[in-house]
Amino acid sequence: MIKNTGLLVMFLSLGGCCTTAPKNAGPMTHPPTQSKAATATPASVIEVNFEGLIAHIVPDDPAVATRRAVVFAGDSNHPHALTVSIPPVNEESDLAFIGNVQLSPDGGYDISVISPGLTFTIENLTPAFNKLGTFKALVPSLSDAHDPLGTPIPPTSLNADLQNPTPTPNGNFVAYFDYSGGTLTATSFCGKGQFKNKPGSPRYFVKTVTLAGETTASPILKVTRGRAQKSFTFKDPTFIEILVNNEAIAGSGDLDDHFRMYEGLFKPGTVTLPEVDHALACKHPKGTVVGCSDSQWP
């Protein structure tokens, strides 16, 4: 499986304490016994990691129902390659529905040359969908990049394809990953970047966005293309780690241009995005990397 360096591990520790009667206190009395609500043990802990040219549609307005990760196709000058890595599943013969399948060293699958027009989802994730501070701070807001005052880009400017349950094949988007719940967090690239011709100090850019959650029943990964759908169950559902990686192919042009490809999330001519100055960025085998950061709308 593709190595992922931006994983999030969460531990919850619950503790108790004892009390003693204070000096000169009267006889201790015991309150009526109260039944404790049973805490359900999750059937599965889920972690989905996103890296590369992926926009996260995460409006705070409950009236805007769509919340999803949008994987961009790239173009002939800046091609990108999507790979989806998943643990072992029981329906191995159906994986060709997604793309070209290779076994990974840990027994899972690295799926590339993804079939166009797919939507992925794991249903009934808990807790209710939310975003932590690392996601808000590290994932560049397309509204902020478009307007230094941070005026939100309105939903009416979004590409009409985003209203569809699956992407239009051979359009701007390769795949969607719909959020049914869970918590979004983020980790950053080393070094910093800065939007060109925009006020503001250099900032960190996200390397990995993580969606973390739980299910109370065995999780099912549903993959939809048009009216066809496949469901995948996991051989070991205790902990499910999925990687959605959409990086530039080596030699795919000036990485400064890649952030501007997010203009495709909107109707033509409605949004203008800046290039990214990489002077303070760290290096990567494919060159500087902050321009190939995830993004978020609004």
Angle at 169 between CA 176 and CA 220, to 5 degrees: 35
User: In angstroms, rounded to a whole number, what is the distance separating the alpha carbons of residues 95 and 109?
Assistant: 9
What is the pLDDT at residue 39?
A: 54
More confident residue, 83 or 32: 83
**How much is the average pLDDT of 79-85?**
91
Long-range contacts of 34-40 (CB under 8 A, 24+ apart): 40/216
More confident residue, 272 or 202: 272
What is the pLDDT at residue 256?
A: 52
Span 152-174, pLDDT tens digits: 899 999 999 999 999 998 888 99
Q: Is the pLDDT score of 34 beyond 80? A: no
Domain segments of the chain as ranges:
44-297
Q: Check if the beta carbon of residue 71 is closer than 8 Å to that of residue 175.
A: yes
Burial of residue 131, with CB atoms counted within 10 A of its CB: 0-12 exposed, 13-18 middle, 19 or more buried: middle
Among 119, 74, 112, CA closest to 291: 74
Look up residue 75 and give its two tokens.
Answer: 């173009």
Least confident window among 26-30, 67-71, 222-226 = 26-30
Ramachandran angles phi, psi of 138, nearest 5°: -95, -25
Go through 133-170 and write b for each residue having 16 or more CB atoms within 10 A of its CB, e for each that does not. Answer: ebbeebbbbbbbbbeeeeebbebebbbebbeeebbeee
More confident residue, 288 or 136: 136
Q: In the predicted model, what is the mean pLDDT of the chain? A: 81
**How much is the average pLDDT of 68-84?**
87
Span 190-239, pLDDT tens digits: 878 888 877 677 888 899 999 999 998 999 999 999 999 999 999 999 99
What is the pLDDT at residue 61?
A: 79
Contacts of 257 (CB under 8 A, 6+ apart): 77, 78, 275, 291
Ramachandran angles phi, psi of 54, nearest 5°: -135, 125
